[in-house]
Each structure stands twice: as structure tokens, then as C-alpha cells.
A and B are shown apart, each in its own frame.
Chain A
Amino acid sequence: MSCPGARFMLSWNASKTGTVSAKPNAFEFEVPERKGEKSLTTPDVTTRYRFHIANIWGEDNREVDVRVPESKPVPVGQSIADDSARCVDGKLSVMAKAPPPLWQSNLVVAQLTTLPGDPHTYHLEHAGKTADLAPGATSNAFAGTLVAGDWLLSIKLEGEEHCMADDAPAKVPLNLGVNVITACTP
């Protein structure tokens, strides 16, 4: 995972010289040495670099991806079927873990939003910080913290929602989640 604009090193070790091409930002350069490296700038999107060699008997390729985090929101959440789920005194909580692709040390939180259509106000705990997030609102409270780690998501039950009682089964949301928008720190 690399941030747009950051420098990275592309290295190769082949039996002969060849060419390197990239997709989707198409470009190509000749590789004059069998073994070497070249400093490149991380593009804006995940890009596949392909080393190609050919001789009279055939051809061969090797590929490597330089992954760039997407800027679209990632819904991070958990089902209330998870062992971490609790429903006590009208409050429902669950522990979610940010997905492994977001565990990079150069990925930080930019903003948080609630999921579309979720009517609940969330209380969030992550990386030693806390914040409340109203429906449809955006929060910068976790800006700059690493995405990696546990996210404690809690809501106060609304309207006819309630935890399980002796005389009534629970009526609660089945999943808790928020949208996480990340930023890269080159």
C-alpha cells in the first residue's frame, strides 16, 4: 500500500533486458540492465506493473501491484451475532475491527459518517478517543488516528427498539456500522 505522490522503488532481476509497462495508467519504459531498480511516483490509483522479456524461444512476464487506498468510504461494522455484542439498559454495542487492507501504518482516519438510512446516533471509541456521531453527520474526531484496531460502536435504542426482557424478545438493529473515510500519510 502506497500513498499517491509517494516515491517507491521498482526492482527487477531477469535473464535479459526487457520492458516495464503499467496499467491502468499506461506507460512503458525500456529496462537496459538485466538487474536493477527505478524510483517511481505512486499513481492516484492501484496500478499493476508488468516486466516483459522475450527472445526467439518465447516470452515471459512478471507482475506486481502497487496498491493505493481507495478514497470511497469503507463500511466498518459488525453483526449483533458477534460475541462482543451487548444490549444493556437500552444501549446496544458491538466491537468491530477495521479490515486488514486498512491496517497500514500510513493509513489514517480522515472522517466518519453514519451509514445511509441508519437513524441511530453512534457513540464511538477508538484509539483512546471517543465521539458521538448523529445520523447523516460527519465527524473529524478521529482524524489522524490509525484506522487499524478495535472500534467500539454503541447506540442508544430508538422508538420501539428494546433489549431482550423476560416477557419480550429483543427488537434491535442487526448490524452496527459506520463509514470510514481514510487518508494517506506519505
Chain B
Amino acid sequence: MDKNELTQRVDTIVIVMMENRSFDHVLGSMRLSQFGGRMDIDGVQSLTDPNLANPSSNGTLAFPFIAKDGPLPNDLPHERDLVAVQLASSAVTGGPTMTGFVKAYEKASGTTGVVDPPPMGLLTPADLPATGFLAREYAVCDRWFAPLPASTQPNRLMAMSGFSERDNTISGLLPDQDTLFDWLNRHEVPWRVYSAGLSFFALMPKMWPALLTDNFRRLSSLSFDFQHEPASEQPKVIVVEPDYDDSPVHLSGHACDNHPPLPMAFGEAFLRQVYEALTSNPARWQRTVMILTYDEHGGFRDHVPPLRVKCPPPKGASYPEFTSTGVRVPSIIVSPLVSRGSAKHAHLDHTSILALLAERFGQPGEQYSSEVAARSAAGIQSVSAALDSGPPRNDIPQMSAAAISAASRLVTWTDPQNAMSNAFTQAIEGFAKAHGNDALKKFPEIAHWLAP
């Protein structure tokens, strides 16, 4: 879809970014005959294909297997050093073989020869009723990669800014980078964030004043706002955030971001809530593009090698240059502007969203930034490459509710203690300290958590 058509047909762009799952893990099984036989999707064609196996450090080969959604025994490794192990570059091919996910898992967990190791697990549409529904009814993007072969903070910074001052996740607040909200403000484009929990943007101190404004709202108001807000007050860009597993404060009772070891059932219920809210206003939905993606692969195996896209550190940062994207992540375009059950093969990553914003809301020919332009020159396309030309669909498929309520009868998970949870803790304490009663008034759950 070109800029003219984009301007004519799209009013609202909705961004939903979940946590830590790979494409094959979430959507790969749809290619298997027993789970849909979607040969148009580059997923897993056979559970016994030797090319899809990963050797264990004990000499056996582990094959992909059909897993059941549920709490995982632990988080999976996904920091830069172990992602390099997962990509498993070969001197024979001169590139990644995607055969090191089991070895990286064993290294991080101190195990060896585990039967059905978690990185090799494939979930199925039966276990993921919301994701499966969206994949069936809208467009699966099977060449959407995390921007960097690294963990949460670098990849989310890429999504927020188009560059990252970090190459690893650390126990600290995020650097105050220029974000998409700064870009939107400069272009006078109204935006809003709806959060099921504490916003990820709380990790960036410069965003704390904005958290207190009406630009940051609870997910529970999305449906009402989307249905009833007058056109003059409607945001053009909406970020919808799950309740993050790494946050010690849960505004919706429990996390729903799909970050292991959390099961995905809560995330499925979250996605249904978002979809139902957005489709509750058919006229507005007709001109809406919802982008569902994941920040990074979270240590789960995928079989498609990353794209060769160089990413040098920005000015002031000093990490070694990245030479490729990260691993493929599950991504679905949910919109009347894509055909039912389609697959899109355009090369995309999180900066493709920023490119879309520039295309839709910038001046003709304007790039989002020099960093995003560089990725574009290296072959990363705008999300517009995944949108169909022509008028929008008129149908609004309805998602089954019963399936999710059955799947969500799962235990909640104990909050993790790691670098990200430490970062969230610092953010909450810093935010509360800096903004006192205003912070606690808007987020009384923080007061409860801070209480001795």
C-alpha cells in the first residue's frame, strides 16, 4: 500500500508488543497438516526433519515437539552472548544454522539431555485460541524479525526509537532516548497508551510526567474510548500494553505478556480483550491497522536465519556492532486492510512500525530517522508492505470466548527476580519518589506495593 492509499484508508495504528516467543514456537505448527496445513506460512513442515533438530550438549538430537501451554520450568536464555550460541554460525556455511537453542538452554539451566527441551516446543492453535483466530482471520507476517539478536531492553528500545544505546538488558532504568512519542509530538499526531499493567515506558524517567497525563490510560477504558470518543479527540497512534511479568505491580491481577515461564493463556485473554475493544466500533475499525508482534524470541527455537542487517551502536554507546537482526517473532496484521488467512513475506522488524508512522504521518518522502532509513536501505520494509491495496473488508470475524476461558484456568506465576524485574522496581520507586501523591493517585496499586 502506498502513501496516498495509506493516508486515504488508515486513521488509527494500534501497536501491541508481547514478550519473548519465537515465530516457530507460536505459529510454526500451523504448517503441519494436523494444525491447518498452512503451506503459505514458513513454519514447521515436519516434526522429524533433521534440519530442524538441535543437538544437545550430550550428543543426542532434539526435534521440535508439540507442547501444551502452561507454566515453563524456567525462563529461557536470550541475552546477546547466548543468542549467538543459539544462532550457531557454521564455518561450513559461513552463516547461522539455528541449531544452538538447546545447547544455550542447557548452558543457562545447567541441564543436559532434557527430553523435549522447552526451546523446541511448538504450541498449537488449539492451545492459543486468540492467536490462532487472528492468524486464521487476518495476515501472518512470516519474515518479521526482532531488530537485534539480543534481549528485551535493546529490542524494545529499537521499537521505541529505531536505535538502542544498549546491547543487553541491565538492572537499571532505560536511557532517555528520543521515542516515537517525541516524533509524534513533533508531527502533532495525537497518541495514547493503554496498559493492562504498569507501562514499559515507566522505565524511561523522561516519560514519568507523561504517565500522569491522559495519554496513559488503563486497558479497561479502551473499549469505551474506542466506541464513544469523538473524532476530534481520537488518537491516531495507540500503543496497547500487556501487564508485564517482570513488573512487581500488576494492575490487572496478574501478568499477561507471555514472558516465560508464564503460560500464554492470560495473554490470549488479553488479545481477545484488545480485539473486541477495537472491533466494537465497526466504522472506526474499518480504518484501523492493529500490529501484533513480540519484542524478541525469548530463547525459543526458530528455523529461519536472521537477516544480515548491520546495526552499529549509536553515538555515545560502545558495544560491538550487530551484524544481523534477531530471531523471527510471531507477528500478525489484524485489520480490514488485509485479506483473510493471508501470509505476508515482506522483510520486517520493529522499526518497520516507525517507518509506517513516517509514511502515514510524515511529509512526502520523509524518513522516520537516519537509523530507520539505514535499516530500510538494508532491506527492512515498512509495515505498509504487508497491507493490501483496495477497499477494506466489511466482515468482522468474532472470536470465540469459551475457548479462552477454558485455557485460562491455569495457575498464576510467582514474580521473577532478574535484571528486568529490578529495572521495573527502580522505575516504580523513582516514579513514586519524583511524583509523590500524583503518582499514587493515578496508580494506587503502587502505594499498596510500596507499603512496608
Binding site for B on A (CB under 8 A): 74-83, 85-87, 92, 96-101, 115-118, 163-164, 169-170, 172-177
Name the CB-closest residue of A to B53. A175
A169 to B305, CA, bound (A): 14
Is the Cβ of B50 less than 8 Å from the Cβ of A79?
no
A101-B58, A117-B46, A170-B94 are known contacts; what are 8 more A-B pairs with Cβ within 8 Å?
A75-B53, A75-B63, A76-B60, A79-B99, A97-B59, A100-B112, A174-B51, A175-B51
Give the residue among B55, B61, B91, B92 with the most A Cβ atoms within 10 A.
B92
A4 to chain B, nearest CB (A): 21
- What is the minimal beta-carbon distance from B274 to any residue of chain A, in angstroms? 37
20 residue pairs from A and B, CB less than 8 Å apart: A76-B60, A77-B53, A77-B55, A81-B99, A82-B55, A87-B92, A99-B56, A99-B59, A100-B112, A101-B113, A115-B48, A172-B92, A172-B93, A175-B51, A175-B53, A175-B55, A175-B61, A177-B50, A177-B55, A177-B61
Quick check: B61 and A75 within 8 Å, CB to CB?
yes
Q: Which residues of B contact A101 (CB under 8 A)?
A: 58, 113
Which residues of A are found within 8 Å of B59, using beta-carbon distances? 76-78, 96-100
Taking a contact as CB atoms under 8 Å apart, the answer to whether A85 and B91 are in contact is: yes
Question: Residue of A at shortest CB range from B88?
Answer: A81
Give B62-104 as 1s and 0s: 1 = Cβ < 8 Å from A's Cβ atoms: 0100000000000000000000000011111111011110000
Is residue B49 contacting chain A, with contact meaning CB distance below 8 A? yes
CA distance A170 to B305 in the complex (A): 14
In terms of DSSP, what is the predominant structure of the interface of chain B? loop
Nearest CB in chain A to that of B48: its residue: A116
Nearest opposing residue in chain B for A114, CB measure: B50
B443 to chain A, nearest CB (A): 47
Complex A-B, nearest 7 residue pairs according to Cβ-Cβ distance, in ascending order:
A81-B88, A79-B99, A99-B58, A75-B61, A99-B59, A81-B90, A77-B61
Cα distance A82–B46 in the bound complex, in angstroms: 24
* Shortest Cβ distance from A93 into B: residue: B92
Check B60–A75 contact: CB distance below 8 A. Answer: yes
Bound form: Cα–Cα A81–B94 in Å: 9
Type the 1/0 row for B97-118, where 1 means its CB is closer than 8 Å to any CB of A.
Answer: 1111000000000001100000
B293 proximity list for chain A (CB < 8 A) = none
**Which listed residue, A81, A97, A172, touches B100 by the CB 8 Å rule?**
A81
In the complex, whether B54 has a CB less than 8 A from a CB of chain A is yes
Q: B121-156: which have CB < 8 Å to A?
A: none
Least CB separation from B98: chain A residue: A174
Contacts of B91 in A (CB 8 A): 83, 85
Residues of chain B in range 29-66 having any CB-CB distance to chain A below 8 Å? 46, 48-51, 53-56, 58-61, 63
Instruction: Return the contact of A169 from the options B49, B94, B97, B112 (Cβ within 8 A).
Output: B94
Q: Complex: how many Å from CA A171 to CA B55?
A: 19
Could you tell me the distance between the alpha carbons of A176 and B61 in the complex, rounded to whole angstroms?
9
Bound CA span A98–B56, Å: 11
Q: Give Cα A83–Cα B100 distance, bound, in whole angstroms.
A: 13
Q: Report the minimum CB–CB distance from A22 to chain B (whole Å).
A: 22
Q: Contacts of B89 on A, CB cut-off 8 Å?
A: 81
Judge whether A170 and B93 touch: CB under 8 Å: yes
What's the minimum C-beta distance from B7 to chain A, rounded to whole angstroms? 41
Are A86 and B55 within 8 A (Cβ)? no
Q: Are B90 and A118 in touch, CB under 8 angstroms?
A: no
Give complex CA distance A148, B56 in Å: 16
Residues in B with CB closer than 8 Å to A100 are 58-59, 112-113
Alpha-carbon gap, A174 to B97, bound state (A): 6
- Complexed CA–CA distance, A176 and B53 (Å): 10
Shortest C-beta distance, B93 to chain A (Å), equals: 4
Q: With contacts A99-B60, A174-B99 known, is A85 near B90, CB below 8 A?
A: yes
Contact between B90 and A78, CB atoms less than 8 A apart: no
B60, A74: Cβ atoms closer than 8 Å? yes
Residues of B within 8 A of A117 (CB): 46, 48-50
- Which residues of chain A are near B60, meaning CB under 8 Å? 74-77, 99
Within 8 A of A (CB), among B188-210: none
- Shortest CB-to-CB span from B106 to chain A, Å, is 12
Partner of A173, one of B46, B51, B55, B63: B51
Within the complex, what minimum Cβ distance (angstroms) separates B113 from chain A? 6
Question: B113 to chain A: which residues have CB within 8 Å?
Answer: 99-101
Q: A13–B138 Cα gap in the complex (Å)?
A: 66
Contact assessment for A79 and B49 in the assembled complex, using a CB-CB cutoff below 8 Å: no
Q: How far is the CA of A20 from the CA of B160 in the complex (A)?
A: 62
Instruction: Give the CA-CA distance A169 to B99 in the complex, in Å.
Output: 18
A96 vs B88: C-alpha distance when bound (angstroms): 16
How far is B100's CA from A101's CA once the two chains are assembled, in angstroms? 21
Q: Min CB distance, A85 to chain B, in Å?
A: 5
Interface centre among A75, A80, A172 (most CB of B within 10 A): A75
Taking CB atoms, residues of chain A closer than 8 Å to B53 are 75, 77, 175, 177
Contact A92 B92 (CB under 8 A): yes
